[in-house]
């Protein structure tokens, strides 16, 4: 498979902004460490965002625990390909529960962004000695785990439907979004984990 | 393979049911596990319960973020695992400290008391040390009569005191693994 044929054109930051447009108290958002954290924060920091600063591999499990505890709320997990690769088994665990209120969006730029854009396994094969992966298809893995509604988004024309699916479609919904490699401004939320957790619970439950 | 002689105490059935009672007393809503003979009877009780959601994990590590997510959503949870699974959790075991949320795990010990399988010893012997290194409060019980009070105290330390707590269910309590017999 040639790289050229699938060169990503989507930009993560405006896309995440669209995903979170008009977010109200019914939308609970968890973002993985690094770029996904900065993306949801750039869209507007809010108490019902839980942006992670570490704990790689945790977002999908967190989203599942939260979705089961709050079945009437919409839970949206936004993370990257590197983070998702670290917890592939959690997709199988999601599939055992089939939470209808959970959506998972993986922003796949085929790089480990926080450590210097090294190729992840989702990078194409034969991409040179330092930039090759295995062409790993995370949407196919999600389907293989038992999440039937798992598709890939590549084109700007698909974004409106993506937003609708992520916000309202019966879950579990898994969307792999191929995005460009970009150097973007760090837009940081508060870092204190206990504070982030307490403000989230205060907003959701009325007590920390 | 030589079956190790094991003589489970008559109360072996009781303490597992008592742990389930403690879960109900403390309003535990989510229980995570990797299939485990030591926890088997307890896992089945949880699976049959209407008030508890019971999840099988692909690796013990998943249990920590699940517990974090449950707590974010206002629910209490417990992670059941074997000492050999503890090593799989260590990086994410930092989450309860970083987010400061209550965390309770019950650990059936291997490589601990008359273990026949040498592969179980390194993680079994390392379990208390690595948990302690991650700031997890340790309770240990090897006597069936003390299981209920110990798990109850651990649940109070976790859910009321906001701590990360592990209860080590010692191999002396569980019985030496005896292949071929349940």
Q: Please state which of the four CATH numbers 3.40.50.970, 3.30.390.30, 2.120.10.90, 3.40.80.10 is assigned to the domain occupying B12-174.
A: 3.40.50.970
What is the distance between the alpha carbons of residues B165 and A36, in angstroms, rounded to a whole number? Answer: 31
pLDDT tens across the length of chain A (208 residues): 444 446 899 999 999 999 999 999 999 999 999 999 999 999 999 999 999 999 999 999 999 999 999 999 999 999 999 999 999 999 999 999 999 999 999 999 999 999 999 999 999 999 999 999 999 999 999 999 999 999 999 999 999 999 999 999 999 999 999 999 999 999 999 999 999 999 999 999 999 9
Domains and CATH numbers, chain A: 4-205 (3.40.50.970)
- Which of B72, B67, B71 has the alpha carbon at shortest distance from B55? B67
Neighbouring residues of B102: CB distance < 8 A, sequence distance ≥ 6: B71, B76, B96, B158, B159, B161, B162, B163, B164
Q: Which two tokens stand for residue B47?
A: 């699976």
Contact: A197, B99; criterion CB under 8 Å: yes
Across B36-48, average pLDDT: 93
Confidence of residue B1 (pLDDT cuts 50, 70, 90): very low
Contact: A57, B92; criterion CB under 8 Å: yes
Q: Closest approach of chain B CAs to the CA of A68, in angstroms?
A: 7
What is the distance between the alpha carbons of residues B14 and A186, in angstroms, rounded to a whole number? Answer: 55
For chain B, how many residues are written?
A: 182
Across B63-83, average pLDDT: 98
What pLDDT sits at residue B6? 56
Domain boundaries, chain B: 12-174
DSSP string, A10-43: B-HHHHHHHHHTT--TTEEEEE-TTHHHHHHHHT
- Which of B69, B71, B101 shows the shortest C-beta gap to A61? B69
- Tell me the residues of chain A between 124 and 143 that have a Cβ less than 8 Å away from chain B: none
Confidence of residue B86 (pLDDT cuts 50, 70, 90): very high
Residue of B nearest to A89 (CA): B58
Tens digits of residue pLDDT in B150-176: 999 999 999 999 999 999 999 999 986
- A194 and chain B in contact, CB less than 8 A: yes
> How high does pLDDT run on average in chain B?
92
Tens digits of residue pLDDT in A142-156: 999 999 999 999 999
Strand B76-82 and strand B103-108: the pairing is parallel
- A50 and chain B in contact, CB less than 8 A: yes
What pLDDT sits at residue B175? 82
What pLDDT sits at residue B106? 98
Contact: A197, B61; criterion CB under 8 Å: no
- Which of B63, B72, B100 shows the shortest C-beta gap to A50? B72
- Which of B56, B100, B7, B168 has the alpha carbon at shortest distance from A96? B56
What is the distance between the alpha carbons of residues A48 and A177, in angstroms, rounded to a whole number? Answer: 23
Across B12-16, average pLDDT: 74
Residue of B nearest to A53 (CA): B98
- B101 and chain A in contact, CB less than 8 A: yes
Count other Cβ atoms within 10 Å, centred on residue A55. Answer: 22
What pLDDT sits at residue A16? 98
Confidence of residue B38 (pLDDT cuts 50, 70, 90): confident
Tens digits of residue pLDDT in B113-142: 999 999 999 999 999 999 999 999 999 999
């Amino acid at each position: 498979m040639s790289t050229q044929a699938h060169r990503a054109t989507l930009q993560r930051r405006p896309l995440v902004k669209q995903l979170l447009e008009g977010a109200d108290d019914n939308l609970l958002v968890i973002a993985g460490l690094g770029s996904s954290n900065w993306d949801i924060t750039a869209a507007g920091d809010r108490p019902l965002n839980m942006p992670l600063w570490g704990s790689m591999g945790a977002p999908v499990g967190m989203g599942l625990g939260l979705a089961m505890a709050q079945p009437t709320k919409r839970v949206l997990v936004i993370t990257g390909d590197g983070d998702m690769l670290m917890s592939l088994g959690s997709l199988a665990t999601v599939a055992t529960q089939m939470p209808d209120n959970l959506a998972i969006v993986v922003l796949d730029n085929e790089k480990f962004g926080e450590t210097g854009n090294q190729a992840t396994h989702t990078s194409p094969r034969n991409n040179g000695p330092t930039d090759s992966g295995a062409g790993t298809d995370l949407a196919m893995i999600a389907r293989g785990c038992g999440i039937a509604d798992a598709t890939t988004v590549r084109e700007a024309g698909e974004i409106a439907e993506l937003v609708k699916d992520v916000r309202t479609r019966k879950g579990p919904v898994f969307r792999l979004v191929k995005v460009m490699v970009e150097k973007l401004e760090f837009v940081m939320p508060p870092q204190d984990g206990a504070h982030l957790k307490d403000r989230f619970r205060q907003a959701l439950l009325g007590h920390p | 393979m030589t079956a190790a002689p094991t003589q489970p105490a008559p109360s072996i059935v009781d303490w597992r049911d008592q742990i389930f009672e403690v879960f109900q007393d403390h309003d535990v809503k989510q229980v995570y596990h990797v299939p485990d003979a030591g926890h088997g009877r307890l896992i089945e009780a949880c699976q049959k319960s209407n008030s508890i959601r019971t999840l099988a994990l692909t690796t013990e590590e998943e249990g920590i973020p699940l517990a974090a997510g449950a707590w974010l959503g206002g629910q209490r949870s417990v992670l059941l695992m074997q000492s050999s699974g503890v090593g799989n959790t260590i990086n994410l075991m930092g989450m309860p400290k970083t987010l400061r949320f209550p965390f309770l795990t019950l650990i059936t010990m291997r490589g601990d008391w008359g273990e026949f399988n040498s592969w179980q010893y390194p993680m079994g012997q390392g379990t208390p040390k690595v948990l302690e290194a991650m700031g997890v409060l340790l309770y240990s019980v090897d006597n069936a009569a003390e299981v209920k009070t110990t798990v109850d105290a651990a649940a109070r330390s976790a859910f009321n005191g906001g701590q990360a707590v592990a209860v080590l269910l010692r191999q002396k309590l569980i019985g030496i693994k005896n292949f071929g017999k349940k």
